[in-house]
Structure 1
Amino acid sequence: MTSSPDPVGTTHPRLAARRGGTAGTWWSKAVLRSVEEAAYSATDLRRGRALARAGSVGSITVSEGRAVAAVSEGQDAFTVEVTVPVLDDTDAAAFTELVAAEAGRIAALMAGQLPLALVESMEEAGVELLPYGGELGSACTCDAWLDPCPHALAVLTQLGWLIQVDPFVLTHLRGLSRDRVLRDLHRIGRPSGSAAPLAAESLGDSTASGDPDRLDDLLVAEDAAARAAQLLELESPFDPI
């Protein structure tokens, strides 16, 4: 059983054209490797990457299990939808518990980091957060018979770039939006250790307790700080793979 889909989603602004590069985080490289696995040929992959780097992908709207964007090529424009399987309720609950299980994990996510130890713990629990090539589906209004077509590969490539800056883009695709993660952490918060202390630690407040209102204030403050940091980072574009 899975939770009801997010009907609105989050729209990420169009990324400007940029030159190629080799920089990247370990998790964004893992996502982009899955894009490589999904491609039918190196030619399609190069064409998709060229479209992504040229800024031909419009704003991307991410919701639970899917992302939608327009891709322009020459005088034509196409609508692309890419899909990723969402975590079922059991795996989603396991994700929340594992984030809350160790101090600093939610702070890392809010700061745009995806702890390797968290992903390894999820894999040990049988929960796959990072997708593999066979999980990436797509549909495009172009006449290509391949799935994914170069336009879909362009969108998937830019999703990898977005995930590099904000791992919550990845969790959202898996069915766990930022707001849902924070809400679920708030729900399981308890005085004995998990969510409240790790939120307090990241803000340098050693006096916080497991009080729900206090935890909520801390998470909201972290969220605001993280969003501000991401806006600053977007002002200086990184070099994607």
Structure 2
Amino acid sequence: MARPVLHPRLAARRSMVRATTWWGKAWVRAVEEAAYAESELVAARVLARNGHVGQIATEPGRFVASVEDRRGLWTVEGAVPVLDPADLGVLVEAVAAESGRIAALLAGDLPFGLVEHADEAGVELLPYGGELGSSCTCDHWADPCVHALAVLQQLTWLVEADPFVLLQLRGLSRDDLLGRLHERTVEPTASDVPTDDEPDLEAAVEAALYAARLLQEAVPESADAE
């Protein structure tokens, strides 16, 4: 099982940073759907903007973080449904359908065509509001509470910067995806040999694995949780 990833704490920001990518905006819509009131969304954005959310740990189906406000320090545990094995297979096939998709993911981009491809096959990668569950040590009755909404807001920025955060929450880590793609190219059949008109997936996967190793050696963006 993949180990949790502990993401660096995000510093306070002078102004509210809005989602700029199409998938970030889709995540924000889900958060807004999950909220009970606009006032709670506003309060959550203030907490997130002012740096009151601690480091966020993510793993398949789960995220954990602490949030501090004037009343104390609270622990938020959130849940995102993990795709079942069949759906994960469909998602891997969608990535493999075009050699440029894995390179785009490694570069911090989530191709719309990839998500559309998976959606047409019955697999929804981006969650909707009702799928974002949470619990908090505070005494608020709502789910999600303001603290959970603040963590979800911070997750927006993490997901925008690295779509693999979203894939990991859905049950497919970067290493798992690269490993599955690599396995597809180990023993190709005659029908799998690319023609002049077909992308060479094996070359693309090897390039992606090499790029991933370089990224990890140069600037590790996150560290494993203890």
Instruction: Give 1:194 shift.
Output: 5.5
SS in 2 for 1:47: helix
Query: Distance in 2 between the 1:230 and 1:110 partners?
Result: 13
Runs of 4+ aligned structure 1 residues displaced above 4 Å come to: 225-231
| Residue deviations 1:143-175 (CA, integer Å, cap 9, x gap) | 001000000000111111100000000000001
8 Å CA contact 1:17–1:54 kept in 2: the answer is yes
8 Å CA contact 1:110–1:226 kept in 2: the answer is no
Instruction: Give 1:188 shift.
Output: 1.2
Instruction: Give 1:220 shift.
Output: 3.1
In structure 1, the partner of 2:203 is: 197
Change in 2 beyond 3 A, CA 1:62/1:42: same
Instruction: Give 1:99 shift.
Output: 0.4
| Residue deviations 1:3-27 (CA, integer Å, cap 9, x gap) | xx54x31110100011213451110
Query: Distance in 1 between the 2:133 and 2:214 partners?
Result: 34
| Residue deviations 1:194-220 (CA, integer Å, cap 9, x gap) | 632334xxxxxxxxxxxxxxx3xx333
Instruction: Flag structure 2 segments of 5+ consecutive residues without an equivalent.
Output: 222-226
In structure 2, the partner of 1:56 is: 52
| Residue deviations 1:100-145 (CA, integer Å, cap 9, x gap) | 1112000000000000000100110000000000100000000001
CA RMSD of aligned residues (A): 1.7
Structure 2 residue corresponding to 1:98, chosen from 76, 94, 100: 94
8 Å CA contact 1:56–1:71 kept in 2: the answer is yes
Amino acid at match of 2:202: A
8 Å CA contact 1:138–1:147 kept in 2: the answer is yes
SS in 2 for 1:16: coil
Give the structure-2-normalised TM-score: 0.87
8 Å CA contact 1:112–1:226 kept in 2: the answer is no
Change in 2 beyond 3 A, CA 1:194/1:175: farther
Query: Distance in 2 between the 1:23 and 1:70 partners?
Result: 22
SS in 2 for 1:81: strand
1:224 aligns with 2:213: yes
Q: Mean alpha-carbon deviation: is it higher for 99-108 or for 222-231?
A: 222-231
- The count of residues paired between Structure 1 and Structure 2 equals 209
Q: How does 1:150-169 map to 2 (within 5 A)?
A: 150-169=146-165
Identity of aligned residues (%): 53
Query: Distance in 2 between the 1:225 and 1:115 partners?
Result: 22
Query: Distance in 1 between the 2:200 and 2:36 partners?
Result: 44
1:11 aligns with 2:6: yes
In structure 2, the partner of 1:202 is: none
SS in 1 for 2:73: strand
Query: Distance in 2 between the 1:179 and 1:33 partners?
Result: 28
Query: Distance in 2 between the 1:179 and 1:21 partners?
Result: 30
